[in-house]
Amino acid sequence: MLSNSLGPLSPQRPVAIEAVAVAPSRLPAVVRTDLVAALGADAVRDDDISRARRAGGQSYSDLIRRRRGDTSDAPDAVLLPATTEAVTEVLRICSEAKVAVITWGGGTSVVGGLEAIAGDCVAVVALDLSRLDRLKSVDHLSRTATFEPGIRTPAAEAALAAHGLSLGHVPQSFERASLGGYVVTRSSGQASSGRGRIDDMVLGLRLATPIGELDLPTMPGSAAGPDLRRLVLGSEGTLGIVTEVTLRVRPTPEVTRYEAWAADGWETGQRLMRRLAQDGPKPDVLRLSDADETAVSLAMSGTTGLKKRAMDTWLRTRGITTPCLVILGFEGSRADVRHRRREVRRIVRSESAAPLGAGAGNSWAHNRFSGAYLRDTLLDTGVLAETLETATTWSQLGGLYDGVRTALQDTLTRNGKAPLVGCHISHVYPAGASLYFTVLAAAETGAELEQWAAAKHAANAAIVAAHGTASHHHAVGTAHRDVVLADLGGDGQVGVTALRAVKNALDPAGILNPGKLLPS
Amino acid sequence: MLSNSLGPLSPQRPVAIEAVAVAPSRLPAVVRTDLVAALGADAVRDDDISRARRAGGQSYSDLIRRRRGDTSDAPDAVLLPATTEAVTEVLRICSEAKVAVITWGGGTSVVGGLEAIAGDCVAVVALDLSRLDRLKSVDHLSRTATFEPGIRTPAAEAALAAHGLSLGHVPQSFERASLGGYVVTRSSGQASSGRGRIDDMVLGLRLATPIGELDLPTMPGSAAGPDLRRLVLGSEGTLGIVTEVTLRVRPTPEVTRYEAWAADGWETGQRLMRRLAQDGPKPDVLRLSDADETAVSLAMSGTTGLKKRAMDTWLRTRGITTPCLVILGFEGSRADVRHRRREVRRIVRSESAAPLGAGAGNSWAHNRFSGAYLRDTLLDTGVLAETLETATTWSQLGGLYDGVRTALQDTLTRNGKAPLVGCHISHVYPAGASLYFTVLAAAETGAELEQWAAAKHAANAAIVAAHGTASHHHAVGTAHRDVVLADLGGDGQVGVTALRAVKNALDPAGILNPGKLLPS
């Protein structure tokens, strides 16, 4: 299907990680000695494999570079502190020696947040938090749990399950991403309609900075000055290292129910999303695919040929000519799910959507993390596969959708072959929604980075022109540095001045994740 | 009742405002000339009455000072800009001349946020925003509305009602407070269970600062760096002047229902609040008074003597010996209110609460703003009348309640006469709740300020000791400057450094509301 649609594809093999040559480490020997003294030899790694494994994150560009064996963005060393005190020691040593520190959680950044940019530092270390991976405490009465930052989501959920509790933060990176990573990138999970963004779940945290610790207490609500938690949320490792976070948790859901529906067209589907977001009751998961993404989803789930024609015929009898997939998910107590589901289905039916059943819903839930892994296969096949996302108000959503779609299609069409551009609404709010685009095109062998850079540049420009945000849930990193100005306030100068002032005050040596977040 | 309970009272008469002598204005003549040139003569007031009317806010101490005719905290002039450009001009002129600027909205600060402290400035002006009072635009599809900052809540609601919309932010200061004031003090309304804090309603804003404008776009959700809206929320006029704010609005509720119940004791009532906050469905208004506040409320609503004995007897037949008043309020569509009300009542009954009926609920709603006005009468009678509030997690709430209550009782007991200290839970969250204390005591004539300062000092210390926040919804001002450190992160030094860095960057001349928010 892909070569029919995208044109001839040139399969590519990645260079094996063992065959990758990494440049000699620039870490000064004296700094290495200090770090070994502070952390132990086992926690200071500068072998090629350890360094190559921390060369960038999971963006298409990161993958292409690593597949080529290009590890120019490998850090000079990898540090594995096991205590908060060790993190503090790293900050002290690196501040004195002017060594850049990139915080490493699950390594799933898709916005270049992990690029080992030295800036004006003499070397770069990746501060890998994977040994800080404990559930530290649970407050059952207040329904909060305190974690170390390096714990990955499956481990966090397993630890909570022993207490009958659940976090319920489920982004596509669920299996690898860390809780600390969610906090500093302002993540949003697939159940955000019910559970909210990570921003809404953070009640307290500790941040190690080069000038000392910021220990923000666990508080349900406060008017005691600006909420500094929100300054850490989205700070992307530029202000300090989150060493502990206290999050809202809930009882393990009694039941989870997923189901799929087909709405007739993107406009109708959007109205349905908006009604549910504004007037409720809201499902916990609420997603809408446009017609193109729906077609690809159906094809990938085996609905092709005769099966496809039968489905189309059945949908036409229901008045649906342009099916747009709707996913609804409900999690909670039996009574709550029963009530919400009944009400939501009533509203869904009032928009003339057709039920595709629990099977299709469960299939979505079953495959909810698979897209990221599928990408490796697509890249092997010679396909450019990347995603990007944004958000805006409901009244501006149509313009944003059209603008970004056109930009991607125009820049990626080659020899009359257009890319496949699918889009879904992945997160809804009373005031608006996010748009998540998936792009598939024939990769230009040898010029993959330039090909995607041109498309990303055009998409970024379209987002700014249509009043979208530079990122709804993946952060700024390097990918959005030059389009974040509007989000930071008009021409961005006052906002950038404010953030730079905080940065300079907390990180006077300028070692924390240089070249990220703030415009160049 | 009060003199029986509190001991002999000495009635006091306030000095008439016309009789108040205000110190000569310190505003340099050349600055006055510049301001008149920029704003027009009508917008620059330095007559005694205009200045005396802006001498402080609505705290007990503010009232006592004004009643004595002490206007030492009157600003040197009052400015009434009518445009954003005029606000910008004021900031330019005052930055150059080193004149402090106190932003004045509704004048309802109860934490000393409006004290005309000059700091190291040569004079102080009150920047009164009452002429910036328009609803600028409505986005029906996205359910947002953009306001100028000086509009008071009743006018805002009236303007929205013409569009079939409502804000639903209803603090006790509703009738006088301004929308801009809510934003910079992180206000929370009586319907916060349903509508959320003002923090959750702000989607975009414009802030005029001495170095330029911060124009944060209207965005439903974003991961494009730290949310700078949250840096403005709670900034208390120290970083800039909010000149426009875009807020979430909702359709005018089809129905509003209030009702009152009696829970048996504070512990049972707390458990009820917690269950509703954590598992829902939540009423829009959810409040619980302790036994002492319940007794005063009943007395004030005329439930005394025989009526009181009849009610006590009836409650005892329901198993209630220590009645604690529960207020439930529901606002929304008919179907939504019906569903939530049915579920909530089921949960309320499962905690053995007894229904006091819609009459008692409506009586609460009818009198919801009257407490603030009643204070003038109490002060005339010789009663110290003040409130204070805090919040913490559910697991720490009992300790916070006991600590603050004891502190207030111990410091205000004189000659064997204890003060009346009532408390209610006014705002609930899944993780915790706020406590709102009301204190009545016999005022110490001539030493009212010292009497209250001692009690406030003890209450503040108790709040810090019990892990409460310095303020849940009234901000820091001058009243909480010395107890805000814990909220700002451990010993507060990193948090204070961060905020000071932003302050110095945006307000290099240091003219914006000196002496507030940040610790001295």
**Spatial CA neighbour of B104 closest among B96, B95, B113:** B113
Which residues on A lie below 8 Å from B188 (Cβ)?
Answer: 221, 223
Q: What CA–CA distance (Å, rounded) separates A303 from A324?
A: 14
What pLDDT, in 10s, does the model give residues B188-228?
Answer: 999 888 889 999 999 999 999 999 999 999 999 999 999 99
Angle between helices B60-67 and B448-465 (to 10 degrees): 170
Coil vs helix vs strand at B261: strand
H and E: helices and strands count for chain A: 19, 18
- Best of B184, B276, B331, B494 to mutate (most A CBs within 10 Å, chain A): B494
Residue reference for tokens 């299907």: A1
* pLDDT recorded at residue B299: 85
Amino acid at B513: N
Give me the residue from B248, B502, B506 closest to A430, CB to CB. B248
Q: What CA–CA distance (Å, rounded) separates A350 from A344?
A: 10
Phi-psi region of B186 (alpha: psi -120 to 50; beta: other; left: phi over 0): left
**Alpha carbon of A514: minimum distance to chain B alpha carbons (Å):** 14
Phi/psi for B388 (5° steps) reads -155, 160
Question: What tokens appear for B226 in the block?
Answer: 């730290």
DSSP per residue, B494-520: HHHHHHHHHHHHH-TT--BSTTSSS--
Binning chain B into helix, strand and coil, the percentages to the nearest 5 are 40, 20, 40
Question: Are residues B429 and A220, on separate chains, in Cβ contact within 8 Å?
Answer: yes
Helices (H), A68-209: 84-97, 153-161, 179-185, 192-195, 198-201
- The answer, for A465 touching chain B at a CB cutoff of 8 Å, is no
Spell out the per-residue pLDDT of chain A, length 520, in tens. Answer: 788 889 899 999 999 888 888 999 999 999 999 999 999 999 999 999 999 999 999 999 999 999 999 888 899 999 999 999 999 999 999 999 999 999 999 999 999 999 999 999 999 999 999 999 999 999 999 999 999 999 999 999 999 999 999 999 999 999 999 999 999 999 999 988 888 999 999 999 999 999 999 999 999 999 999 999 999 999 999 999 999 999 999 999 999 999 999 999 999 999 999 999 999 899 999 999 999 999 988 888 888 888 889 999 999 999 999 999 999 999 999 999 999 999 999 999 999 999 998 888 888 888 888 888 889 999 999 999 999 999 999 999 999 999 999 999 999 999 889 999 999 999 999 999 999 999 999 999 999 999 999 999 999 999 999 999 999 999 999 999 989 998 998 787 999 999 999 999 999 999 999 999 998 7
Window 108-127 of A, Cβ < 8 Å to B:
none
A451 and A443 Cβ atoms separated by less than 8 Å: yes
Query: DSSP code of A152?
Result: B
- The answer, for A100 touching chain B at a CB cutoff of 8 Å, is no
A137 and A89 Cβ atoms separated by less than 8 Å: no
**Could you report how far apart the first and last alpha carbons of chain B are, in Å?**
41
Question: Are residues A221 and B429, on separate chains, in Cβ contact within 8 Å?
Answer: yes
CB pairs under 8 A between A and B: 300
Question: Are residues B218 and A431, on separate chains, in Cβ contact within 8 Å?
Answer: yes
Where chain B has pLDDT below 50, the residues are none
- Best of B219, B241, B243 to mutate (most A CBs within 10 Å, chain A): B219
* pLDDT recorded at residue A169: 95
* pLDDT recorded at residue A399: 98
B111 and B477 Cβ atoms separated by less than 8 Å: yes
Torsion angle of alpha carbons B495, B500, B502, B507, nearest 10°?
Answer: 160
DSSP per residue, A374-418: HHHHHHHHTEEEEEEEEEEEHHHHHHHHHHHHHHHHHHH-BTTBP
Closest CA in chain B for residue A140: B395
B101 and B54 Cβ atoms separated by less than 8 Å: no
Q: What CA–CA distance (Å, rounded) separates B381 from B375?
A: 10
* pLDDT recorded at residue B482: 84
Closest CA in chain A for residue B396: A142
**Alpha carbon of A506: minimum distance to chain B alpha carbons (Å):** 7
Q: What CA–CA distance (Å, rounded) separates B175 from B372?
A: 11
- The answer, for B429 touching chain A at a CB cutoff of 8 Å, is yes
Closest CA in chain B for residue A209: B494
Instruction: Say which residues have a Cβ less than 8 Å from residue B289's Cβ, sequence separation at least 6.
Output: B297, B324, B325, B326, B422, B423, B424
Give me the residue from A336, A490, A499 closest to B213, CB to CB. A490
Q: What CA–CA distance (Å, rounded) separates B47 from B487?
A: 40
Which residues on B lie below 8 Å from A199 (Cβ)?
Answer: 227
- Best of B111, B201, B393, B503 to mutate (most A CBs within 10 Å, chain A): B393
DSSP per residue, B359-425: HHHHHHHHTTTHHHHHHHHHHHHTEEEEEEEEEEEHHHHHHHHHHHHHHHHHHH-BTTBPPEEEEEE
Instruction: Say which residues have a Cβ less than 8 Å from residue A8's Cβ, sequence separation at least 6.
Output: A442
Which residues on A lie below 8 Å from B492 (Cβ)?
Answer: none
* pLDDT recorded at residue B163: 98
Question: Are residues B393 and A219, on separate chains, in Cβ contact within 8 Å?
Answer: yes
* pLDDT recorded at residue B21: 82
* pLDDT recorded at residue B431: 98
- The answer, for A221 touching chain B at a CB cutoff of 8 Å, is yes
Closest CA in chain A for residue B490: A215
Q: What CA–CA distance (Å, rounded) separates A101 from A121?
A: 10
Closest CA in chain A for residue B197: A221
- The answer, for B370 touching chain A at a CB cutoff of 8 Å, is no
Give me the residue from B396, B487, B499 closest to A222, CB to CB. B487
